[in-house]
Amino acid sequence: MLAGAAGGFTGGAIGTALYGGSFSDAMGAGIKGAVFGAFSGAITAGIGVQFGDVGGIVNELGRTGAHGLTQGAFSALRGGNFWQGAAAGLFSSFGGSVSGAFGVTGFFGTVAVSSAMGGVGAAIGGARNTEDILFGMAAGAMVGALNHALHSLLLKKREQAYDKMIELSENGSFHEVACFELHDGNTLILPEQGNDARNANIKYYNLRKDSKGNPIITIKGKTYIVDNVTHVHMGTYDPQSTNPIYFSDEDGDFSNWIGKPIKILMDGHLFSTDSQNYMKPKMIW
């Protein structure tokens, strides 16, 4: 909701100012945009939860349609044109869905593509003034930020997933990235939201243990066994050091929880270790 409010405020205020409005006009439009943006943001995020990660064509068409309807309705509610809003929602969602295929997978890249596509959509829908195009771009940025960029990436090949994680961790700002290595052979790279150089959020898809002690997750009602959780450590591998990959207390706790050595990606390599062997981690990739 906050992201939506911020986007709505910015779009409203800048658009009004560029259109020749006074400061108070710009503030008024900004506040109005913020209120609509907050509600729109909540619903946009809800659509993201409903449709989940980028998946098959049917899933993505459903997501695109839902965003089109939502943004069209909000555009009409704020006194604008339904079709301009709907086109902004459709195009931005489409942009978010296909951006990964063109190598744009980072948070800011996805948001930028969705935002630009939202502006294009609004223009195709008939927007001719700066305010409406900026609202289209703000709606697109929100769709990108609250929907596409906050979801996971499923890859069939482990090595491909490790390469992607390294790329993501160094894309824009340095931050940790984590993945679930599933028992079926697939690898699920987790969203990067909130991650930084010290932290990778792994509490997704209700990671827990089943009655046999296997780590499991649930996605859209289906349960998957998690073989391991791999995460990135920032920095340089130093085999001469007493702790070559900065093994931490938390790594030790997690390897105890999962019942096997933890896997850590660092400096372009994959290591396996635990609190007994952290001084000599095993390089496995």
Partner 1 sequence: MVRTFKILLLILLFTSCKSNKNNENYYLEINNKELIKQIIEYKHFIESLNQANSFVLKIYCLELNDSVNKYVISKESSAFGFLNNSYNFKCKVEDFDVLFIMVSGLVNSPDYGKTNLNFFKVKQSIILEDIKKYFPEDYKYFMKNGNFPPPDMFEPEILHLTFIRDKLVKKAYKRGYFRDVK
- The residue (of 156 and 282) whose beta carbon lies closer to partner 1 is 282
Q: How does strand 187-189 pair with strand 178-182?
A: antiparallel
Q: Which run of H or E residues covers position 208?
A: strand 208-209
Query: Does 257 sit near partner 1 (CB under 8 A)?
Result: yes
Site for partner 1 in 259-278 (CB under 8 A): 259-260, 274-276, 278
**Minimum gap (Å) between residue 192 Cβ and partner 1:** 13
Residues 6+ apart with CB under 8 A from 269: 237, 283, 285
| Cα distance between residue 139 and residue 137, in whole Å | 5
Judged by CB under 8 A, which of 20, 56, 101, 203 binds partner 1? 203
Q: Which run of H or E residues covers position 154?
A: strand 153-155
Do residues 164 and 189 lie in contact, with contact meaning Cβ atoms separated by under 8 Å?
A: yes
The site that binds partner 1 (CB under 8 A) totals a number of residues, namely 39
Do residues 119 and 133 lie in contact, with contact meaning Cβ atoms separated by under 8 Å?
A: yes
Instruction: State the CB neighbour count (10 A cutoff) for residue 182.
Output: 18
Dihedrals phi, psi of 81, to nearest 5 degrees:
-95, 130
**Minimum gap (Å) between residue 204 Cβ and partner 1:** 11
Q: What residues does 215 pair with on adjacent strands?
A: 209
Query: Does 192 sit near partner 1 (CB under 8 A)?
Result: no
Judged by CB under 8 A, which of 193, 199, 218, 236 binds partner 1? 199
- The residue (of 194 and 268) whose beta carbon lies closer to partner 1 is 194
Q: Which stretch binds partner 1 (CB under 8 A): 109-117, 138-146, 150-158, 235-243?
A: 235-243
Site for partner 1 in 236-255 (CB under 8 A): 241-243, 246-255
First to last CA, the chain: 42
Cα dihedral sign, 202-207-208-212: negative
- For residue 100, give the DSSP letter: G
**Minimum gap (Å) between residue 41 Cβ and partner 1:** 22
Judged by CB under 8 A, which of 43, 54, 178, 266 binds partner 1? 178
Query: Does 201 sit near partner 1 (CB under 8 A)?
Result: yes
**Minimum gap (Å) between residue 147 Cβ and partner 1:** 24
Dihedrals phi, psi of 250, to nearest 5 degrees:
-65, -35
**Minimum gap (Å) between residue 227 Cβ and partner 1:** 14
Judged by CB under 8 A, which of 1, 207, 225, 283 binds partner 1? 207
Query: Does 204 sit near partner 1 (CB under 8 A)?
Result: no
**Minimum gap (Å) between residue 267 Cβ and partner 1:** 14
- Residues in contact with partner 1 by CB under 8 A are 176, 178, 194, 196, 198-203, 207-209, 215, 229, 231, 235, 241-243, 246-260, 274-276, 278
